[in-house]
Structure 1
């Protein structure tokens, strides 16, 4: 359990970092942390999962990943963002959101704001030193 929700992202990825800069502007109280600096075991997740997708850990400790994490983040914010989060969680929209999230994650090295780390295969990206 955490004091407030935690958004965990890839701090070595420029596209991910730029996306998180937009997320912190949302009207929601949360802690934002790159997975490379997070105690993932304490947060109830693994490095493998954090390398694969953005994570949202709610106050109860439930971990959502990928498009579901984005939807949970939006639902935690005030309207109109919370409405978008509920829409993104709806069964038919969720499938489209999952597909879109996976496409973006798999192609982030081609998107604006990337870093050299984004272009490496996941198993070759820099690891946390701490």
Structure 2
């Protein structure tokens, strides 16, 4: 469980694609949450492990911890009106369930995404690759 008052969105700061997405979130979406690379976060205080955050993004708020598309939905719901609407749709259970395979595909192929580099590639034995 989170020990922070302000929500935190945790991403992989070692991945150029993920860092580009985080900059977009901070500069364009401007959520009422801190956007932090897990490498600089106090994972213990957030109730997260390195295995968890290396496999997916996380949203941590008092009484709520979500991962992957659900975390993105929670983050969007903390932003402006248009983003809140998008987050509300993404947060619908059937939509979130459909978004997980897409999220996992992007995670496995993030080194091929715009802004991604070979350093973004997940190792063959990484938990996110098994999904």
Q: What TM-score do the two structures reach when normalised by structure 2?
A: 0.85
| Pair 26,120 (structure 1): closer, same or farther in 2 beyond 3 Å | closer
Which consecutive residues of structure 2, in runs of 5 or more, have no partner in the other structure?
Answer: 127-131
Unaligned runs of 5+ in 1: 125-130
10, 23, 44: which one aligns with 1:41: 44
> Post-superposition shift, 1:10?
0.5
Q: Could you state the TM-score of these two structures normalised by the residue count of structure 1?
A: 0.86
- Find 1:7's aligned residue among 6, 9, 13: 9
The CA RMSD measured in Å over matched residues stands at 1.7
Give the conservation status (yes or no) of the 8 Å contact 1:109–1:115.
Answer: yes
**How far does the alpha carbon of each residue in 1:19-70 deviate from its partner, in whole angstroms, 9 at most, with x for none?**
0111112142221211111110111110000000011111x15221111110
The count of residues paired between Structure 1 and Structure 2 equals 123
Q: 2 CA distance for matches of 1:14 and 1:123?
A: 20
4+ residue segments displaced more than 2 Å: none
Match of 2:84 among 82, 85, 97: 82
Whether 1:101 aligns to 2:100 is: no
Separation in 2, partners of 1:78, 1:122: 38
Partner Cα distance (2:17, 2:96) in 1: 22
